[in-house]
Chains A and B, each alone.
Chain A
Amino acid sequence: MRTLVNVARYHLTQPLIFVGMVWAIMAFSFAVNLAIFRLVPATSPPAHYTGAVSIIYVFFFIMGVFATGRSLPFGLALGVSRRSYYTGTALLAVALAAADAVALTALQAIERATNGWGEELHFFRVPYLLDGPWYLTWLTSFVGLALLFAYGMWFGIVYRRWSIPGNVTFIAAQVTVVLAAALLISWLHGWTGVGRFFTALSAAGLTGLLAALTAALLVGGYATVRRVTV
């Protein structure tokens, strides 16, 4: 456990990447959105939607890439096994996702209470996805952020081991898997069923699916990191 905590602390020697920058960018994006919607005329019913909260998810992906692609070699040089390095990094991902999801949930509550920051701004509220009770907002944010971090970690590991050609192959493999699934559904005439499944799917159900996907990504990253050499 001590080793795992050391790995997490090792990452946090770069607080800019893992804490500071993401909220600086979020704050900037929020300010820009607020300024823009102050300028545009009110709609009826009054509501300004923006998908800018997705920035934090993109940034969690980048964090994941850094945590493995950039920091892995020195981590292993410190006498830490790949297993411990990966587990410690994943624990940090979970902790950061949980904490930042709390912040997102709090900000959403403020947004609701202040009538969209006085401008009918839907910055922290996203229709369907992040529009339910606070605990669902937290859960969906948490799972989403952890998912992107785990995905980024896997990319970083592939980069560490096989460099750019590896990442290109990795993306191609994913596209192939998705394509194969699409073809399979077409052959089985399953699109109606798929459509029905997703229209019936609640935000909570989707969160469950994303959680399963996160677990799969973590397993994939773990299997890959065990083969990494530095």
Chain B
Amino acid sequence: MTPAISVAGLTRGYRGHLALDRVTFDVERGSITGLLGRNGAGKTTLLRILAGQEFPSAGQVRVFGASPAENDQVLRRMVLIREDQVYPDFKVRHALAAASWCYPGWSSELASSLLADFGLPPDRPVKKLSRGMRSALGIVTGLAARAELTLFDEPYAGLDAVARQTFYDRLLADYAEHPRTILLSTHLIDEAAGLLERVIVMDRGRVVLAAAADDLRGIATTVSGPVLAVDDFTAGHEVWERRQIASQASVVMVGPLGEGDWARARSLRLDLEPLTLQQLVVHAAAQPAETTNAGSFAAAAMERTSA
């Protein structure tokens, strides 16, 4: 089966800077993928190109095996929910009605139950909505469309923690009943981590990491304790980061931990803490451009996969 998304060598240049620099990755059908990275990493540009709203400068983009640009057959199978969506001068229910005409899989029941969940008044003009309410409208549209490919770009700007949890819950529940391919760009990585089956990390227009979320858990560990013990424990491992205060050290060590490692750490009085997804992303995105760590990440992820 052709992948939902297949991107090769995708480049998008604007005057004086590269928003996307030879981006290459695939997204298989039926998965939830997190698109992570700092502001300006190129996430929105990438999603806009996937949805045919922007054009690439070079490279190849395939959605369901065909170019999405000006392709109604492909476009109607996907939806892009943007944080900065511009709406015409109409009411919430008009936006939903228009979406219901355009998406064959649209579920009115889901839309109305989501409206109730988010407390979104259908008769309110869109321009009178608060930032959070606007985001909620995007979420309702994106979920109720049940599009085969659902792209969310920072869908919950301005939404409170309770509403965000509602989004995660409803997304998972509906995804379980109606499997589809979801690509979610977000800054709230740890919050969404439980949702993500795969992650793609971008930095300065490049993909620095693409892996299954499970493969990344435990890929690196923070080892802290007395300096000598830490050095002893981490000897022979690749080290990403090292901090030392007086006789205490804290080191980020790459590589999976075995059964014996935990016991050994206990006897050396060391604290072991696996890096969270968010810490991994921060680490991946913090590397200088010329010494990108993608190789080391990929190698570590692969080692983990084969183990």
Residues on A close to B: CB < 8 A? 3, 6, 9-10, 13-14, 17, 66, 70-71, 73-74, 76-84, 226, 229-230
Contact = CB atoms under 8 A, between A and B. Distances in A.
B87 A74 contact: yes
A78 B101 CA distance: 9
B80 A84 contact: no
Contact of A77 (B71, B76, B80, B89): B80
B97 interface: yes
Given A79-B72, A229-B48, A230-B48, 7 more contacts: A3-B72, A79-B77, A80-B76, A82-B70, A83-B72, A229-B54, A230-B53
B94 interface: yes
B257 interface: no
A129 to B, nearest CB: 33
Given A9-B101, A10-B101, A13-B97, A80 B89 contact: no
Q: What 5 pairs between A and B have smallest CB-CB spacing?
A: A13-B94, A73-B86, A71-B88, A78-B102, A79-B75
* Chain B interface residue bracket vs A: 20 to 34
Contacts of B53: 76-77, 229-230
Contacts of B86: 70, 73-74, 230
Nearest to A226: B70
A77 B78 contact: no
Contacts of A76: 51-53
A79 B79 contact: yes
Contacts of A79: 72, 75-79, 102-103, 147
A81 B88 contact: no
A interface: dominant SS: helix
B85 A73 contact: yes
B229 interface: no
A14 B72 contact: no
B102 A80 contact: yes
A82 to B, nearest CB: 6
B175 interface: no
14 contacts: A9-B98, A13-B90, A14-B94, A70-B88, A73-B85, A77-B85, A79-B78, A79-B102, A79-B103, A81-B72, A82-B70, A83-B70, A229-B55, A230-B48
Contact of A14 (B48, B54, B80, B89): B89
A39 to B, nearest CB: 38
B99 interface: yes
B52 A81 contact: yes
Query: Which of A17, A226, A229, A230 has its CB near the most chain B CB atoms (within 10 A)?
Result: A230
B73 to A, nearest CB: 9
A6 B102 contact: yes
Given A10-B101, A13-B98, A81 B70 contact: yes
B134 interface: no
Interface string B48-64: 10011111000000000
Contacts of A226: 70
A80 B72 contact: yes
Contacts of B97: 13
